[in-house]
Amino acid sequence: MLTLYFLQSSRAIRPAWVLEELNVQYDLKFANRQADGSVPKDLGVPTAVGKSPAIQDGDFILGESGAITEYICDKYDTQHRLLPADPVKRARVREFMWASEGTFMLHIEAYFGARSSASPEALTKLVGATQHDLDWLENELSRSSTKYLVGDEVTLADAMMIFPLQVTFANKIGTEGKSWPKVQQWLKNVESGEGYQRTVKRTGHRV
């Protein structure tokens, strides 16, 4: 049985949702955040870096949410539902996957790291980077007019992108008084989906 190491309010929502979408049986090793939202010292995660998420599948241990979600698809998504076989669609999905960590989360983490000490000018720049990311996503969704990021069914693009968008809106990183209607509609589509709802019920995920 596959084990998912799941820290509350973390990127672990990504593999959890993928496992639920594919109806893969898994054990959930749950860790809560401390009362102030910080992460407990030892998450009990068996990777060297010890971050959430991680999985153990037999003897195989893997970290990094992008690598984990791809592994789950390679092993369990025989119909290529979430990671399409067609090279163009697959590349499109992976474009969002890479953007989710390498662009969106990068800017969010930089903002969180700097917000208590940086100058107002530096903070404005960091907030501007996230707003620019939202503009890009709004533009992508306007061009495609699909329910999800790549087509009208959930893919790994949605599973990876959901977390940075939830964090951005929950923490109001440059969002106050502004709107990105396509992005906000996409978030609604995701959060009302049956597989996503099942994931929240099983994990208690909240942002």
Interacting residues with ligand GSH (CB under 6 A)? 7, 10-11, 39, 51-53, 64-66, 101
- Closest approach of ligand GSH to the CB of residue 65, in Å: 4
- Closest approach of ligand GSH to the CB of residue 125, in Å: 23
User: Whose Cβ is closer to ligand GSH: residue 95's or residue 143's?
Assistant: 95
Q: Is 72 exposed, middle or buried (0-12, 13-18, 19+ CB in 10 A)?
A: buried
Contacts 24+ apart (CB under 8 A), 90-98: 92/150, 92/157, 93/149, 93/150, 93/155, 93/156, 93/157, 94/156, 95/157, 96/149, 96/150, 96/156, 96/157, 96/158, 96/160, 96/161, 97/66, 97/69, 97/70, 97/156, 97/157, 97/160, 97/161, 98/66
User: Whose Cβ is closer to ligand GSH: residue 163's or residue 196's?
Assistant: 163
Taking the C-alpha atoms of residue 197 and residue 200, their distance in angstroms, rounded to an integer, is 5
Smallest CA-to-CA distance from 173 within 117, 114, 119 is with 114
Taking the C-alpha atoms of residue 64 and residue 87, their distance in angstroms, rounded to an integer, is 23
- Closest approach of ligand GSH to the CB of residue 185, in Å: 25
User: Whose Cβ is closer to ligand GSH: residue 66's or residue 174's?
Assistant: 66
User: Whose Cβ is closer to ligand GSH: residue 97's or residue 179's?
Assistant: 97
User: Whose Cβ is closer to ligand GSH: residue 66's or residue 193's?
Assistant: 66
- Closest approach of ligand GSH to the CB of residue 120, in Å: 27
Give the total residue count for the chain.
207
- Closest approach of ligand GSH to the CB of residue 14, in Å: 8
User: Whose Cβ is closer to ligand GSH: residue 70's or residue 77's?
Assistant: 70
- Closest approach of ligand GSH to the CB of residue 79, in Å: 25
SS3 34: coil
